[in-house]
Structure 1
Amino acid sequence: MAFYKFSVTVDCRMDKQNKIIVVGIGPGNPDYIVPKGLKTIQGAKYLVGGKRALADFAQAGQDTCAITADIPGVMAFIRDRLPKADVVAMVSGDPGYYSLLDALRREFAPEQIEVIPGISSMQYAFAKIALPWHDATLASFHGRVPQPEAIEYKPGKILGMLTDSQHNSHTIPQILLEHGWPADARLYICSRLSYPDEAIYTCTMQDAAAKPLVTHGIIIAHE
């Protein structure tokens, strides 16, 4: 009786799992998005982002969802489309710094998420004033109040802060004075960073109220 050997090749690779690709689009001006991020956005079938980001980057034929206060609705859009293809989510600045990435990690496994970093507005602000920020303390007044130890004065301290309409360039200096900052400490008040009407006002802590009001921006304080 003759015996024959058969060779069978089995491809054990699993099907590619679709990803949520979170792209940092930089401080605002499209010139500051990294090339890989732009290529990923342009090739997206499903695209999530703020209204301004969608206006800047979305293309005809893409299925889009605007990020609004309805975060559960955004998550539902992503969850519904993820089995079909990758979903690209655009966030301002860098995804690792106060972005939708936190909410995505609460809803999806980290293995389902890929991040393409971007230039944050904080990074951009320090670059514009040519000040290294490796020793800086970063804090956010955007929709929150930092812990006192984050903003209290210490000699040589460099403090970078996100602002909002309530905690702005007129109110934050007063808070810092109450936390021990000298009246003559230097402030950089940054508005509309990366846009043609960008403005950076330099003043002392005590003179900040005389400068134009800046709400959603960056303030950097140091001696």
Structure 2
Amino acid sequence: MNVLYVVGVGPGDPELITVKALRLVQEADVVAGFSTVLEVVRKHVRGQVLPLTYRDQEEKLGQLAEAASRGMRCVLCAWGDPSVSAQELVERVQRVYPWVEIVAGVSSLAVACARVGAALEESLFISLHRREGAERAFQELVYALKQGHRHVFVFPRPYDLMPAQIAQRLMAEEIPPETRVVVLERLGLPEERVLSLSLGALTRCDTLSDLTILFFPKEDEGGYGDGQC
């Protein structure tokens, strides 16, 4: 059996793919991943491409595990750094295959820090991009915003806990509608956008992509403007 690599390919900018990730993709017999992720590395793939969707990912991961068990060199590509933004995907792979190695990549969180000028050591990172524990993470977000002592970065969850829904729920938890929030969409991609909004304005932003990070500056560092989606 070969090691099955879960490789972080960065936030989308092809210049932010690590040398190791690029080598593993080029040497692989099978390269799997969601279609948007595969677009970042497709021109480097020499083997078979195995695209995943949210509906068939369990089946496709089983096929990838079977290929690895037959001695094929297999790579599963994930956005950013798998340990930051793809933990559930990693756990799914580990359930079907015993020898998994995570290859770190450049996280979109690091790019987000650079865009807004925030130090990671002064920030809290909360991921809602999960099925289990999302409600606990949301309450942690509410508490952090009410305290206002640290910057907060938030990863939304595709489809049912996107930025507009997060804003609506935060206001229901008595977070003021004038609270500052910076929307960082498609970081590292040609369509990248950085928008500065109030929480109230964010409730009307229902067309943001699932490649979005929210940044809430700490209480004493507001003043990011009042833009519109």
**TM-score, scaled relative to structure 1:** 0.79
Contact 1:151–1:179 (CA under 8 A) maintained in structure 2: no
Shift of residue 67 of structure 1? 1.6
* Bigger radius of gyration: 1
| Equivalent of residue 56 in structure 2, options 64, 67, 70 | 70
Shift of residue 44 of structure 1? 1.1
SS, match of residue 105 in structure 1: helix
Question: Equivalent pairs: percent with the same residue?
Answer: 21
Shift of residue 143 of structure 1? 5.9
Contact 1:137–1:150 (CA under 8 A) maintained in structure 2: no
Query: What is the distance in 1 between the residues matched to 2:90 and 2:112?
Result: 22
Q: Which amino acid aligns with 2:79?
A: S
Change (3 A) 1:202 1:98: same
Query: What is the distance in 1 between the residues matched to 2:58 and 2:162?
Result: 29
After TM superposition, list the pairs within 5 Å mapping 1:19-168 onto structure 2: 19-58=3-42, 61-68=46-53, 69-82=55-68, 83-99=70-86, 100-109=89-98, 112-142=99-129, 144=131, 145-147=134-136, 148-152=138-142, 153-163=146-156, 164-168=158-162
Structure 1 unaligned spans of 5+: 1-16
Q: Which amino acid aligns with 2:71?
A: K
Q: Which amino acid aligns with 1:62?
A: G
Alpha carbon RMSD of aligned pairs, Å?
A: 2.4
Size of the aligned set, in residue pairs, is 205
Structure 2 unaligned spans of 5+: 220-229
**TM-score, scaled relative to structure 2:** 0.78
Large movers: runs of 4+ above 4 Å: 209-213
Change (3 A) 1:46 1:181: same
Q: Which amino acid aligns with 2:24?
A: T
Query: What is the distance in 1 between the residues matched to 2:45 and 2:24?
Result: 15
Q: 1:11 is matched with which residue?
A: none
Q: 1:221 is matched with which residue?
A: 216
Shift of residue 24 of structure 1? 0.1
